[in-house]
Structure 1
Amino acid sequence: MMTIYKPNSQSKVWRLIPVLKASGHLQMAIDHWLFKQHQQGKHPPTLRFYLWESATISLGYHQKHWPSHWQQLTWQNQPLELVKRPTGGRAVLHQGDLTYAVITSELPENRQVAYQILCQFLIAGWRSLGYELHYGTAGRGYIHNPNCFATATSAD
């Protein structure tokens, strides 16, 4: 584990956890554990990146259940792993993507402002590689569509 420093923060020390490739169930258990430890004051704010061992659908915290036919879904003759995230959002298909988790209590309560603060490192990183990123705008179908990638929000 390595420590990074974040300027203009109450807690200047952040923890960066190196990339881990593991099952969706283990990744969600780690996120949940890190959140609980931070909530109890046992761990500093944390940034971690991870990869999914196999194709996985993750459901957002507030989604009650997945459709029963999802339990029969496969990718390359392997069953899709189905997990619940400890965070909000809609269903997301993870398939070879790099995911990040930010565990902190030092963000404003306004969700849009919090996302803009969190995404600054992504925007700066991609800009340094020659790509320009922009925040999304809320689509009208977001509330009605369980698929996270079917619509954009102002946090995207």
Structure 2
Amino acid sequence: MLKGLVLNPVSLSGPAQMAADVMMLEKLTSDPELCLISRFYSWDGPWLSLGHNQKKIPQRWIELAKQKRLNIVRRPSGGKAVLHSSGITYALAWKSPPKKKHQAYIEASQWIINCFCQFGMQLKFGLQTPKNLSQNCFATSTNADLLDANGFKRIGSAQLWRQGNLLQHGEVLLNPCERLWEDVFETPPPKTSLPSISKNDLESLLTKSLISYWSNLDWEARDLRNAEFRYIEKASKNYFIDSLLLGS
């Protein structure tokens, strides 16, 4: 029987979280029975993650980093900047998903849609084309994003493909720090419309929805192992933003 793995939540630095996500993708190739790996996580402080091809860093972000109000990390995936502050970040590594990118987004996100349906919140995909968009991920709404009925973006996601396998990770927006959001993006954060549920409870419901959606898999949940932490520590250097670029 094909297997699914849920890695228990862990709080790490931005570069370490990115290394852990890529590690999930690489683990798919080492176990022929392992079909899907997922995890949810938080960050050790406010982090701004930049898309792999998002090369230009605005001066105000550099100043916020110098002031120690913000940390900046490079994602292995595409997309625009995401402010990780009190939300839930998810990562999903999927072996041999649909080859068409949009179809893969649909199928890799359906469990999230199903979960929010439990609260009476209908999420839908955005319609913007991914060209000439804002540097702020949550100011755009492409077909990689999930919007609520009022058009507010609730989840922004990005993908990395390797050897026909997929890493999709994204941010479930909860209650970001309004002042920091405005300082980073020069606009107020999107209005939140989530039901009164704790972050831990929402994380638990998302996990249950994921397992239910892929109910054909034999699921296991466990902590990261020591060897995996060693890999993460070594690989995290790939996602640091050059300190010279930040002027530190």
TM-score exceeds 0.5: yes
Letter in structure 2 aligned against 1:109: K
Q: Which has the higher helix share?
A: 2
Contact 2:130 / 2:142 at 8 angstroms: preserved in 1? no
Which residue is equivalent to 2:144? 155
Q: Which consecutive unaligned segments of at least 5 residues does structure 2 have?
A: 146-248
Contact 1:55 / 1:81 at 8 angstroms: preserved in 2? yes
Contact 1:24 / 1:52 at 8 angstroms: preserved in 2? yes
Which residue is equivalent to 2:242? none
Distance in 1 of aligned mates of 2:124 and 2:11? 28
- The answer to whether the aligner puts 1:119 opposite 2:109 as a matched pair is yes
Letter in structure 1 aligned against 2:86: G
Equivalent residue for 2:58, pick from 44, 60, 67: 67
Which residue is equivalent to 1:103? 93
User: Following TM superposition, by how much is the alpha carbon of 1:153 offset from its aligned partner in structure 2, in angstroms?
Assistant: 0.9
Letter in structure 1 aligned against 2:30: G
Higher radius of gyration, 1 or 2 = 2
Per chain length, whose mean CA-contact separation is higher, i.e. which structure has more relative contact order (CA < 8 Å, sep 6+)?
A: 2
- The answer to whether the aligner puts 1:87 opposite 2:92 as a matched pair is no
Distance in 2 of aligned mates of 1:36 and 1:68? 35
Contact 2:21 / 2:91 at 8 angstroms: preserved in 1? yes
Secondary structure of residue in 2 paired with 1:102: strand
User: Following TM superposition, by how much is the alpha carbon of 1:57 offset from its aligned partner in structure 2, in angstroms?
Assistant: 0.4
| RMSD of aligned Cα (Å) | 2.2
1:46-61 equivalent positions in 2, closer than 5 A: 46-61=37-52
Quickly say closer, same or farther: Cα 1:42–1:67, change in 2 above 3 A. Answer: farther
Quickly say closer, same or farther: Cα 1:32–1:140, change in 2 above 3 A. Answer: closer
Distance in 2 of aligned mates of 1:101 and 1:146? 22
Contact 2:82 / 2:138 at 8 angstroms: preserved in 1? yes
TM (norm. structure 1) is 0.79
Quickly say closer, same or farther: Cα 1:124–1:65, change in 2 above 3 A. Answer: same
Equivalent residue for 2:19, pick from 20, 26, 29: 29
Runs of 4+ in 1 over 4 A off after TM superposition: none
Which residue is equivalent to 1:17? 7
Which residue is equivalent to 2:135? 146
Distance in 2 of aligned mates of 1:78 and 1:18? 29
Letter in structure 2 aligned against 1:73: L
User: Following TM superposition, by how much is the alpha carbon of 1:142 offset from its aligned partner in structure 2, in angstroms?
Assistant: 5.1
Q: Which consecutive unaligned segments of at least 5 residues does structure 1 have?
A: 1-10
TM (norm. structure 2) is 0.52
Quickly say closer, same or farther: Cα 1:135–1:25, change in 2 above 3 A. Answer: same
Quickly say closer, same or farther: Cα 1:138–1:54, change in 2 above 3 A. Answer: same
Distance in 1 of aligned mates of 2:4 and 2:126? 30
Percent sequence identity over matched residues? Answer: 31
Distance in 1 of aligned mates of 2:105 and 2:78? 13
Partner deviation per Cα, 1:85-124 (whole Å, 9 max, x = no partner): 1111111111011000011232112121111111111111
Distance in 1 of aligned mates of 2:126 and 2:19? 31
